[in-house]
């Protein structure tokens, strides 16, 4: 059998990784570790944390790094063994405790090789506010910038892409039910990077109520109420395919994000359909089955 790739075969490469692992972290490291939940921190030569991970069985997890092969799935493991100078293990009482500790450390340290959870400050929210006959809809990652404008917030959402797509679909439908306000009639708004605000007038109270119930994950029927109201609008009937597409995008967002957030908050007895960015991941860790 011939090897298509150049260099040593995978078995030899695994030996090289294992030797480097033992040289850096100690030949007795794995034997000294318990088969328990833990978080582990890979650090560089200056002590800076490169990566934070969690494990149900930390001995088994770190043995995976020692025995990493040339498979693509093991690339990150090989990189960390190569880049790190030390590894710190913090044993936890339970797997859930390990998950929460991992989440807190990633938010605090933002390690170079962690992606998920490192930038929770970018998790967006959607707000609905009412003032002087206007309904304001806002998409932002900085809800604190909008104090005083009467917004009720929903989120925060981990996927900016899904939330922004849902917001765009919502604006498409709501501006068909009411009349979009020109910028000159909008209140003075803060300058928040990446935010978007749209004002709508002549939106019936029942439609606003449907918006709140939909975004709060209370009932998917709220979306049906909006669709029925659109049937009375000639322009919406004319653009039926576009309206249907927007409704389908919102229905998908309800299932992937709104209903799940509502369920997680409900499990902890929280009635407000909003969770701050820094608490969002921890909320789902606390309520997920293990």
How many angstroms separate the CA atoms of 241 and 230, rounded? Answer: 13
Strands (DSSP E) contained in 98-166 are 125-131, 134-140, 151-155
pLDDT at position 120: 84
* Residue 87 · residue 141 · CB < 8 Å: no
| CATH number of the structural domain spanning residue 25 | 3.40.1440.10
* Residue 283 · residue 103 · CB < 8 Å: no
Are 68 and 131 contained in the same domain? no
Are 87 and 125 contained in the same domain? no
Strand ranges across the sheet with 179-180 = 151-155, 125-131, 134-140, 196-201, 179-180
Q: How many CB atoms lie within 10 A of CB 193?
A: 8
Among residues 40, 74, 109, the one where a domain terminates is 109
Collapsing DSSP to helix, strand or coil, 199 comes out as: strand
Confidence of residue 115 (pLDDT cuts 50, 70, 90): confident
pLDDT at position 182: 92
Has residue 290 been placed in a domain?
Answer: no
H or E segment and range at residue 254: none
pLDDT digits (tens, 9 = 90+) for 240-251: 999 999 999 999
Q: What is the mean pLDDT of the chain?
A: 91
Are 41 and 153 contained in the same domain? no
Task: Report the predicted TM-score, pTM, of the whole model to 2 decimal places.
Answer: 0.80
Are 178 and 157 contained in the same domain? yes
Q: Which residue has the higher pLDDT, 167 or 222?
A: 167
Has residue 289 been placed in a domain?
Answer: no
If one counts the domains in the chain, the total is 2
Average pLDDT over residues 75-81: 95
Predicted confidence (pLDDT) at residue 3 exceeds the cutoff of 60:
no
Average pLDDT over residues 69-75: 86
pLDDT at position 53: 97
- Angle, vertex CA 159, rays to CA 155 and CA 161, nearest 5: 115
Confidence of residue 7 (pLDDT cuts 50, 70, 90): very low
Are 57 and 139 contained in the same domain? no
- Domain residues for 100? 10-109
């Amino acid at each position: 059998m011939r090897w298509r790739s150049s260099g040593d075969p995978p078995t030899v490469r695994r030996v090289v990784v294992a030797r480097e692992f033992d040289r850096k972290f100690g030949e007795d490291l794995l034997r000294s570790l318990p088969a328990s939940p833990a978080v582990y921190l890979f650090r560089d030569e200056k002590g800076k944390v490169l990566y934070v991970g969690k494990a149900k069985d930390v001995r088994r997890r770190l043995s995976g790094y020692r025995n990493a092969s040339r498979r693509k799935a093991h690339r990150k493991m090989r990189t960390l063994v190569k880049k790190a100078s030390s590894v710190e293990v913090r044993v936890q009482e339970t797997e859930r405790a390990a998950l929460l500790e991992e989440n807190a450390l990633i938010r605090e340290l933002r390690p170079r090789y962690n992606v998920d959870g490192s930038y929770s400050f970018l998790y967006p929210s959607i707000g609905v506010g009412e003032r002087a006959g206007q309904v304001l809809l806002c998409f932002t990652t900085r809800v604190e910038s909008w104090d005083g404008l009467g917004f009720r917030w929903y989120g925060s959402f981990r996927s900016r892409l899904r939330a922004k797509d849902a917001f765009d679909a919502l604006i498409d439908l709501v501006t068909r039910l009411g009349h979009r306000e020109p910028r000159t009639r909008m209140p003075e708004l803060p300058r928040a990077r990446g935010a978007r605000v749209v004002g709508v007038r002549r939106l019936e109270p029942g439609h606003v109520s449907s918006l709140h119930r939909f975004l709060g994950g209370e009932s998917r029927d709220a979306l049906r109420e909006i669709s029925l109201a659109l049937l009375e609008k000639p322009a919406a009937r004319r653009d039926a395919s576009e309206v249907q597409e927007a409704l389908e995008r919102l229905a998908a967002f309800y299932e992937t994000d709104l209903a799940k957030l509502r369920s997680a908050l409900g499990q902890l007895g929280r009635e407000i359909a909003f969770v701050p960015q820094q608490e969002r991941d921890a909320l789902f860790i606390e309520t997920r089955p293990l």
